[in-house]
Chains A and B, each alone.
Chain A
Amino acid sequence: MKYVKELSNKNKIVTEHTCESVYEQQSSDYMIKFVFSGTEDCEINNRKLSIYPDSFAVLNEGSSFSSRIDSITPVDTFSVSFGKTFINDFYNSISNTSDFLLDGKQTNIEPVFLESLYPFSGDMRYNILHLKGQIDNGINNEMLINEYMYHCLLNYYKIYDKEVIQKMDRLSFIKTKTKEEVLKRLTLAKEYISSNYNQNITLENIADYACLSVNHLLRTFKEAYEISPYQFLMQLRLNRAKNLLQTTPYSLNEIVGLVGFECPSSFIRLFKNTFNITPLKYKKSRLN
């Protein structure tokens, strides 16, 4: 089931509830894509990545994009696309002073997002869940939808600042250009881990994808994110296991396999050490 809502300013919202869908290569709008349950496999500019419910993907206008859903259980996807005028107005309003705007001036630079996966949490999650609720209830108020979309962009810029700008400042390189390039590649490393977290991935795989040497990856990843790629992978597996315990009827052994652990006992030990509760007690507490 698919629902498309296009506003008069070309902003667009698409929701879909499906087990199977294929979207062939197309040129994207400025778009933010979310998944509420399940996984959506995408290819953005020849990079394969998977969107899970704990992350969202950002795309630039004109990027080559395709996606595929193939799942036993239904996958809920939600995407918001921004019209050119809307996004340029937003970009002008946050990049320029009030005096500059009151003089009727506008910059001609178009925003370029760092296309990747970002954590779907905090205000972005609250606002998008509200918007989804309104869309599910058949909202027709364009002013309100635009307000949610404006805040969605505000929330994205805040997340970008936290996940990219602040992390870049931690890198010990002198040149800004070098910091930018390394952080871009580290973002790719995180994207690769997030999309392949349940596979048997090696440091070499991650380093290859990010176009960094293994040593360079290890040193700069720790510098930027204060954890190693392995610790990041373990955190991701545990958090996704937590989400599966909470939202699915799968058995513990099934979940252990789904999130990429080979041994249930090491999963249980790590889960308990991290969250101070065993997986089964956690599942029970959520059911209550």
Chain B
Amino acid sequence: MNPSSKFFYVQVAQLKEANDFFQNRLGMNTEPAFLSEKEKCILVKPDDTTMIFLSEKKHEHQTRKVTLNTPDLLEDYCRLRANGVTFTRMPIYLNEGLSAMFSDPSGNEYTILEERQYSED
């Protein structure tokens, strides 16, 4: 397992609606999975090192805020906007790099961040 892998557990209102959003609006790979023997979930893989587990039930380690990294934020911002994603925060420059924010249909917040190294080499 990659030591830098990131896992997020996120509660959503409906798995079907969430799957549609992640697959069709965000263009991410999704696959059906199980959190336990009885509980279905959806596994989203935005990149090689990030996994998001979407489930309808409430769990202890779930979060409502997810940060995703990108190599080119403006490219993702335009692509997602063209797919109908509404951004709650336009691209802004932070100390860490360029960042923007959107929500999923259940109101969870996703920050996309293009990390930038500003110090001279």
Binding site for B on A (CB under 8 A): 121-123, 126-127, 130, 134, 141, 143-144, 147-148, 151, 158
The answer to whether A151 and B78 touch (CB under 8 A), given A122-B118, A126-B116, is no
Q: Which of B20-76 contact A (CB under 8 A)?
A: 72, 74-75
The majority secondary structure among interface residues of chain A is: helix
- The answer to whether B116 and A130 have CB atoms under 8 Å apart is no
Query: Does chain A have a CB within 8 A of B1?
Result: no
- The answer to whether B74 and A144 have CB atoms under 8 Å apart is yes
In the complex, chain A residues whose CB is within 8 Å of the CB of B120: 121
> How many angstroms from the CA of A147 to the CA of B116 in the assembled complex?
18
- The answer to whether A151 and B74 have CB atoms under 8 Å apart is yes
Binding site for A on B (CB under 8 A): 72, 74-75, 77-79, 82, 91, 93, 98, 114, 116, 118, 120
- The answer to whether A143 and B78 have CB atoms under 8 Å apart is yes
Min CB gap B57→A, angstroms? 39
Q: Which residue of A lies closest to B72 (CB)?
A: A130
The answer to whether A141 and B98 touch (CB under 8 A), given A123-B93, A123-B116, is no
The answer to whether A151 and B75 touch (CB under 8 A), given A123-B116, A126-B116, A143-B82, is no
| Residue contacts A-B, CB under 8 angstroms, 18 given | A121-B120, A122-B116, A122-B118, A123-B116, A126-B98, A126-B114, A126-B116, A130-B72, A130-B75, A141-B78, A144-B74, A144-B75, A144-B78, A144-B79, A147-B74, A148-B74, A151-B91, A158-B93
In the complex, chain A residues whose CB is within 8 Å of the CB of B82: 143
> How many angstroms from the CA of A151 to the CA of B114 in the assembled complex?
14
> How many angstroms from the CA of A121 to the CA of B78 in the assembled complex?
24
- The answer to whether B118 and A127 have CB atoms under 8 Å apart is no
In the complex, chain A residues whose CB is within 8 Å of the CB of B77: 147
> How many angstroms from the CA of A127 to the CA of B116 in the assembled complex?
11
Q: Nearest 4 CB-CB pairs, A to B? A: A144-B78, A130-B72, A147-B74, A147-B78
> How many angstroms from the CA of A121 to the CA of B72 in the assembled complex?
17
In the complex, chain B residues whose CB is within 8 Å of the CB of A147: 74, 77-78
With A134-B75, A144-B79 given, can you name 7 additional A-B contacts, CB distance below 8 Å? Answer: A122-B116, A122-B118, A127-B74, A143-B82, A144-B74, A144-B75, A147-B77
Q: Which residue of A lies closest to B93 (CB)?
A: A123
In the complex, chain A residues whose CB is within 8 Å of the CB of B116: 122-123, 126
> How many angstroms from the CA of A134 to the CA of B74 in the assembled complex?
11
Q: Which residue of B lies closest to A122 (CB)?
A: B118
> How many angstroms from the CA of A127 to the CA of B77 in the assembled complex?
13
> How many angstroms from the CA of A122 to the CA of B116 in the assembled complex?
8
In the complex, chain A residues whose CB is within 8 Å of the CB of B93: 123, 158
Q: Which residue of B lies closest to A286 (CB)?
A: B121
Q: Which residue of B lies closest to A151 (CB)?
A: B74
In the complex, chain A residues whose CB is within 8 Å of the CB of B72: 130
Min CB gap A156→B, angstroms? 13
> How many angstroms from the CA of A141 to the CA of B77 in the assembled complex?
13
> How many angstroms from the CA of A172 to the CA of B82 in the assembled complex?
51
> How many angstroms from the CA of A148 to the CA of B77 in the assembled complex?
11
- The answer to whether A123 and B98 have CB atoms under 8 Å apart is yes
In the complex, chain A residues whose CB is within 8 Å of the CB of B75: 130, 134, 144
> How many angstroms from the CA of A20 to the CA of B72 in the assembled complex?
33
In the complex, chain B residues whose CB is within 8 Å of the CB of A123: 93, 98, 116
